[in-house]
Amino acid sequence: MAMSRWHTWSAVAPVIAGVCPESTPERFAVWARWAVAGRQVSMSETCCCWQVRLPLPEGDTTGYLKRYRFSGRRRRYWGRPGRAMVEWRNYHEWPRLGLPGPEPWAAGERRQWGTFQEGWILTRGIPGTLNLTEVMRARTFASLGAAGESLVEQVADLAARAHRAGFFHRDLKARNLLVRLADGDVPPEVWWIDCPRGGFFPAFRRALAVADLADMGYGLREWLTPAAWARLLARHAAGSGLSGLAAAVNARVDRGEG
């Protein structure tokens, strides 16, 4: 990590620094060129994401490059890291918690006299995956059979593992869960992604757990059977030690607050 007189700081994984030396600190223009050459996959008021291809030793590899900008609200990150650097920190923390996520390749942000200007983060793509929203659109829960039951268990276990450790995603919608479905009896694989607001929060653990589960439930609850949704909440309670959340989670989903 490097700090310059221009108040720009960034971090680059060795694998990227080695094959793309132009991505080293203060070279945000290069990241912008990668975005132009890539394919835009999402856009919001504050964030754009592009799918890009990078020349790694094993061959061209897919990555996802996100840029955060907060026009008119830049002082909100005065004295604390912006979303790209929070996401970078979280992706490095997840392996210690046993949470699967994307491999972080590079991140950085630019400030002027401490005022946030923009932030970037680059992660490695996870081949053969769909987000859970896409899975729900393409398949019914019943059609997945045993794979569906395994999916319920994994989704519950990952949330329980994080919440037991005091970590909360704070945007755990179905689109932020990646799933790789396999043929036959091979269980699916699940990853967490897109976590620029999450972190460790020692206070309000029950309320934050309810919010994470409701984020998942808004959409997921209707896709699952009532029994499968109940099993997900019960399994989370057993793994996280946070019991008695089901009623609050369901009430929040009923209000559309997921």
Rounded average pLDDT over 227-256: 97
* Residues 30 and 113 reside in one and the same domain: yes
pLDDT at 5 over 60: no
* pTM (2 d.p.): 0.90
Write down the pLDDT at residue 81. 76
The domain in which residue 37 lies consists of: 2-124
Kindly report the average pLDDT of the chain as a whole number. 88
pLDDT at 158 over 80: yes
Query: Hey, is 201 helix, strand or coil?
Result: coil
- From CA 218, how far away is CA 254, in angstroms rounded? 8
* Residues 184 and 237 reside in one and the same domain: yes
Percent of the chain with pLDDT over 70: 88
Backbone φ and ψ of 231, nearest 5°? -65, -40
Where is pLDDT greater, at 254 or 186?
254
Q: How confident is the model at residue 6 (pLDDT cuts 50, 70, 90)?
A: very low
CATH number, domain containing residue 236? 1.10.510.10
- From CA 207, how far away is CA 215, in angstroms rounded? 12
Write down the pLDDT at residue 115. 76
Query: What CA–CA distances, in Å, run from 243 to 105, 235, 239?
Result: 37, 10, 9
pLDDT at 161 over 80: yes
- DSSP E strands in 113-188: the ranges are 115-124, 130-131, 167-168, 177-180
Q: How confident is the model at residue 242 (pLDDT cuts 50, 70, 90)?
A: very high
pLDDT tens digits, 103-141: 999 888 887 777 778 889 999 999 999 999 999 999 999
In our burial notation (b when 16+ CB lie closer than 10 A, e otherwise), range 225-255 reads eeebbebbbebbbebbebeebbebbbebbee
- From CA 249, how far away is CA 233, in angstroms rounded? 9
* Residues 208 and 172 reside in one and the same domain: yes
CATH number, domain containing residue 94? 3.30.200
* Residues 220 and 248 reside in one and the same domain: yes
* Residues 117 and 135 reside in one and the same domain: no
* Residues 96 and 187 reside in one and the same domain: no
CB 10 within 8 A of CB 106: yes
pLDDT tens digits, 91-106: 999 999 999 999 999 8
Write down the pLDDT at residue 22. 60
* Residues 42 and 136 reside in one and the same domain: no
- From CA 245, how far away is CA 250, in angstroms rounded? 9
User: What strands lie across the sheet with 2-3, from one edge to the other?
Assistant: 2-3, 8-12, 104-112, 115-124, 59-68, 47-56, 39-43
* Residues 99 and 152 reside in one and the same domain: no
> Residue 18 has which token pair?
């080695």
Query: What CA–CA distances, in Å, run from 74 to 79, 82, 84?
Result: 11, 9, 14
Write down the pLDDT at residue 4. 42
* Residues 46 and 119 reside in one and the same domain: yes
Q: Which residues contact 203 (CB under 8 A, 6 or more apart)?
A: none
Query: What CA–CA distances, in Å, run from 168 to 48, 90, 195?
Result: 23, 10, 9
Backbone φ and ψ of 102, nearest 5°? -70, 155
| Amino acid in position 91 | Y
Write down the pLDDT at residue 82. 82
Q: How many domains does the chain have?
A: 2
CB 160 within 8 A of CB 234: no
Write down the pLDDT at residue 57. 75
* Residues 120 and 153 reside in one and the same domain: no
Write down the pLDDT at residue 2. 43
* Residues 148 and 102 reside in one and the same domain: no
pLDDT at 36 over 70: yes
* Residues 165 and 250 reside in one and the same domain: yes
Of 124, 158, 176, the residue at which a domain comes to its end is 124
Report the sign of the C-alpha dihedral through residues 217, 84, 15, 28, in that order: positive
Write down the pLDDT at residue 94. 97
Write down the pLDDT at residue 187. 92
pLDDT at 52 over 50: yes
Of 70, 104, 124, the residue at which a domain comes to its end is 124
Of 108, 124, 140, the residue at which a domain comes to its end is 124
